Chain A
Amino acid sequence: MDVLALILVCPVATVLAGLIPSNRWRPWILPAAAVVHLSLVAIVLLSGGMGAKVKPGPTTHEGFIGTALVTPPHAGTPSVTKVVPGDSGGIVLSDWLGLDPPGRVVLLLVSMLFVACAFYTVGYLRDLRDHLNRVFCVCFLAFLGAMTLVICTNNLGLMWVAMEATTLSSAPLIYFKHTQTSIEATWKYLLLCSVGIALALLGSFFVAYAAILHGLTPSLKLADLLRQAPEMDKRWLEAGFVLLLVGYGTKMGLAPMHSWLPDAHGESPSPVSAMFSGALISTAFLMVMRSQHILYVAGDGAYASRLLILLGLLSMAFAAMFMVGQKDLKRMLAYSSVEHMGILALGLGIGGIALLGAMLHVLTNGFTKGALFLSVGNIDRAYGSKTIPEVRGALRRLPLSGMLFLLGFLAITGSPPFGPFISELIILYGTLMAGHFLIAAIFLALLLVIFIGMGRTVLAATQGSVPASGRRSRFRDGLLSGLPVLACLLIVLMLGLYIPPPVWGLLHHATNYLEVKP
């Protein structure tokens, strides 16, 4: 029931936002809706009895994940708790709504990140008071609603509809600034994502058709698909998976389908970019996980892994190429998103411990990206530019945002003690453990190149002295512009030093769910 409520929050808020006349007070609907959303999410997750299956605790010498890491190098994946997909895996409300364990993780991320972005947006919109923001607020809330629906439904078709809805609702957000470049970004975003998503629809059809061929009653319900998967027709199933992978991969920003991503992230307002690279593409990754799960259950996991690893490394390589010497801060962060989607795909492809790492990485990457984009937003507002020659000495100009940006960079490149370090460590561990030494080597080499490329830009932006020329703006670090960034980064830091048992339960539960063969 509460899942239904969760779905309904956003439409209601959207309507409200549309009705509120005052341009000044309208933005406050965002944090309000966000808080309600988050509380409902909390209720849903807790009522789901998440993590009940695993009893982790700091009592063990090796810590939570340490216990999950299996000692001998040749023993394969960890012992998984038996989960019957669909049923105990998620709460089945009706034929339409249901929440599978991976969904819970992403839901948590989306909701928390939106809270941060919502508060930030209030300050952001206040600065351009003359700019009408009705469309913005409406679309932002609709965007959240669409993502929530993608996560909370259990029907492949409805997932597709919702996913397309995210594209449509977020397009006006990119166009918010009404500049030529933002039009261009919006156009490409719409065209490429729509085409990609269309392929995903075809993929869903293929999967259903694969069932028909073998005389099964076709259905788009995830649970049914998972049950029937073993008997389905392999060729159509695999073709369907490829289409789903390419389709949702486009949305997720896997290279070479990523080309819309830097434009969209670069041109949209910072809170929107933050939601894009923190929440939206993680949601797309959720879809990829679900598709892979079907293939895995069908006993064709090896094939899926091959493709995922290939695309993952390809994405990292693309990102590395474009991050070296990147002058535009936001585009650089966008490519970093491509890189991390690649890492996620890699982790999913490797499976086992690496999958656990990937689940954790969804969270760590999401929050770090949020912090990074929001802080760059502050820098953008202070300098009136987001490219290198203009932006210099951010540490002097904006002590707080500059420092947070620098720390966020260290976090996203996997420096201890931040969260991404732990998750990447686990993924690396899984890769080496599975004996993919070559893959691990490529992985590390790309990480190094990316670090160098990114570091050059970030340090150039943060260090040194503030250029005398350039547009002066009165912008200073404030409560609404600084606190959300700080909060995101603190979460990232906490995930690196201490994972709360409930969250850990979520991750472990999700991993087991994806690893299980009914």
Chain B
Amino acid sequence: MTTFIGISLQAVLLTLLPPLLLGIINKTKAGFVGRRGPPVLQVYYDLLRLVKKNVVISSTTTWVFLAAPLVSVASVVLAGLMVPLGPTAAPIHFKGDLIMFAYLLALGRFFTTLAALDTGSSFEGMGAARELTFACFSEPALFLALLVLVKLSGALSLSAMLLPASHVRIGSTASAALVLIAVSLFVVLLAETSRIPVDDPNTHLELTMIHEVMVLDNSGPLLGAQIYASSVKLLILAAFLLHVVLPLKPALVGRDWGLMLVGLVAVAGIIGAVESLMARLQMRFVPTLLVAACLFSGFGFLLIL
């Protein structure tokens, strides 16, 4: 029963919550610069408007350009179904789903970058190049984090390794390791969802962008799909991160759901804060940052080895 509730709750959260996080981020940023800013639900309105609009397609593109946004949505949602958003196990969990998770994200990346290059514009090309390059460094960081979690939990499924990870005794070396990988996971999150300091989602200088410039030629529902997909990605990575840091207790399901929701909002807030307080790194320093993330989770792994 509880599992059923959990699963359905999870499905609902996964589909509806993501745009809210974007809204919160924007609100926080507005707050930092002392503006009222757009309403929290603004992103939902935008998505609705985009879906109603019709599409403008570049003459050079092929069907890949149309398919990419939908593929990325599908892949990211499937990936999301494997990450427990709450204290209960995710809808899909089986031995080895952690690898499926990583490679579903890769699938999305494959198509997005391909579509970007499909337009033949150099800006989109640059975006794709950066996306791919940075992924080469964030993947190892992610897998090192996974190593730590597997070592701690002894399980090979996200649900089975994330849930116990969250009630490690504070102060043990394990907890230290968790803190380290939490830091690196946060960096990975920033990179994967292309936020400052890796990327600046709302600059308007194409030369400096990554994700935004890749979707430069998308419009209407396609653009909406891309935005939605990235927000879902943000949600699941945030949830991933939260499981590492939050001390959940499987006993008190209700409390934990609350805790998770608060946590998600908090992560969004932190991201917003980071975006308003930090400047974007120079492109050539981004790999360094990601390598640092790798080192963090590497040390974490060494701690518990």
**Chain A in direct contact with chain B (Cβ < 8 angstroms):** no
What residues of chain B have their CB less than 8 Å away from a CB belonging to chain A?
Answer: none
A residues near B (Cβ < 8 Å) are none
